[in-house]
Chains A and B, each alone.
Chain A
Amino acid sequence: MATRLQFENSCEVGVFSKLTNAYCLVAIGGSENFYSAFESELADVIPVVKTSISGTRIIGRLCAGNKNGLLVPHNTTDQELQHLRNSLPDQVVVQRIDEKLSALGNCIACNDHVALTHTDLDKETEEIIADVLGVEVFRQTIAGNILVGSYCALSNRGGLVHPHTSIEDLDELSTLLQVPLVAGTINRGSEVIAAGMTVNDWTAFCGSDTTATELSVIESVFKLREAQPTAIVNEMRNSLIDSYV
């Protein structure tokens, strides 16, 4: 199910939050409404962690992660890093990387299996991404934009990309990512998809300016209508728990 919400009068929900299948990060300082919207959807299923990165609130754009790990930029403080390591589940590896393109959320779009990255990312960073996040990495552009993390929202079940992406590009990306993709907008015509929304396999959060049409496109491409969190978590539980004593 997709929820509409705002962070302090801004509809750019994907800037102030980061949602994956194993955890959710939210920025400090928004009103309690923002935090409680996430809590009410996710509380029993995955941890919702309030944090800042490098003292800022734009955490969604600075970090990139999936259920296996979280990558944070070099300017993340030690306290923030420690807080993240303490609050996130143990199987999530939190790694601080030295990359001059420090807005990792803008440079990397990933789900649990595959990642698209900025074409100018360091080779080392690419290896770390493959290692920590456990994904296959592809350097790509979306509709001619190198900031793939900004113009694409990705989950294991679907993806939403920049509205001006051509059909050929859509097909190519869809083959790479192995998920259905659709070109669309968020927040009443905004092209910066990942800034306006954040999504995982069973739920999505969009800015409150998102129209009903946009919301229905999101619910259909990410297959949110039938999705139940328990199904996903049970799958994970089976792979995590060896035996019951």
Chain B
Amino acid sequence: MPRKPTGHSSRLLPVRPLTFSPFARSVARVATAYMVKHHARDAMQHSAGDEFKKLKKVERQSESSEDEEFDGVVQADFAFFDPKPDDFHGLKTLLQSYLDNKEWDLSGFVNLILEQTTVGTVVKLEDDEENGVFSIITALNLERYKDHKCITELKEFLLSICLEKDKIGNLRSLLGDKAHDVGLLVSQRVVNLPPELLPHLYDALFDEIAWATEDEPTEELRNSFWFKFYIVVSKIYKHKNASQKRSSSTDEGDAFIYVKPEEEILHKLSMWSFLFPLQTQQVAAHELKNYQLNGIVMAVKAEDISSFRQQLHTLINES
């Protein structure tokens, strides 16, 4: 029943480029290059309170910068934590564009995530005084929280932006009568978060969900984590000419470019998905000039998750 905290890593090298906010400082610290040091110690390490879940990370080629100059290499130790009330502002910043530019009860949504400490992981730097949040992953049962304003607004939003007639029926049923089996999979991170963390992050989430089905104090709560479906709301780049007949030449590029690598796997495994146009202005990088950023909503069956986890491990370990 107790979760085993595993391997512990070394200290953080304080390198400070010039930025103006605590959050930007945290991000800039990890900015261009990074290393994640790994100590393959599986001995049970002491963890200060059971709020920590530390993680084994892979040992890599590292150049550590001994001097104070910022030569582009930053050493960073990421640790996984349970959501805490202090993370409010960091999480709110990460989730700012979750529902495009709709005005909704974002603060309430963040509070929901923070209150669910049994399932949900926040990625922060170890011993970071500024408490910068780098990533969040959690799964929220849509029925359990159906009375909260943020969830009602979220459901309304999803139903309103679904323009595909054949998918809207499915969506309505998942948000309506099947809601008690549906988990909203929320996964947001800073753009340059090392991908090596992803398999561990998703493993942590799905393991916590499995543990919650046994550990939660009431039967109702235990059942609320027996998800049969997951809904994912995110953003992807779609090729502007994708709807035209595609010639055999592949210099057109891929039809979709995924901001988050694991979403490629999820998209393939999904039962159904639909795209929706975004209203916020997007600044396109040169490489992405043929692509348009769209929102995407996907529904994945829970039985496909183990395959997802395996494929994610393979994908990250190969690249």
Binding site for B on A (CB under 8 A): 6, 8-11, 31, 33, 188-190, 208-209
Closest B residue to A187 using CB positions: B89
Tell me the minimal C-beta distance from B111 to chain A in angstroms.
10
| A188-B89 contact, Cβ under 8 Å, with A9-B96, A208-B107 | yes
Q: Which 4 A-B pairs have the closest CB atoms?
A: A209-B107, A9-B106, A9-B103, A31-B103
A188 near B104: Cβ-Cβ < 8 Å: no
Q: What A residues does B107 contact at CB under 8 A?
A: 11, 208-209
Q: What A residues does B307 contact at CB under 8 A?
A: none
Q: What B residues does A10 contact at CB under 8 A?
A: 96
Tell me the minimal C-beta distance from A184 to chain B in angstroms.
16
B88 near A188: Cβ-Cβ < 8 Å: yes
- B32 CB–A CB distance under 8 Å: no
Give chain A's interface secondary structure class.
Answer: loop
22 CB < 8 A contacts A-B? A6-B103, A8-B101, A8-B103, A9-B96, A9-B101, A9-B102, A9-B103, A9-B104, A9-B106, A10-B96, A11-B107, A31-B103, A33-B103, A188-B88, A188-B89, A189-B88, A189-B89, A190-B89, A208-B107, A209-B88, A209-B92, A209-B107
Tell me the minimal C-beta distance from A148 to chain B in angstroms.
16
Q: Size band of the B side of the interface?
A: 10 to 19
Tell me the minimal C-beta distance from A192 to chain B in angstroms.
9
Q: Give residues 83-107 of B contacting A (CB, 8 Å).
A: 88-89, 92, 96, 101-104, 106-107
A188 to B90, CA, bound (A): 12
Q: What B residues does A209 contact at CB under 8 A?
A: 88, 92, 107
A102 to B92, CA, bound (A): 29
A209 to B89, CA, bound (A): 10
Contact with A along B61-91 (1 / 0, CB 8 A): 0000000000000000000000000001100
Q: What A residues does B92 contact at CB under 8 A?
A: 209
A136 to B103, CA, bound (A): 41
Q: What A residues does B102 contact at CB under 8 A?
A: 9
Closest A residue to B110 using CB positions: A209
Q: What B residues does A11 contact at CB under 8 A?
A: 107
Closest B residue to A11 using CB positions: B107
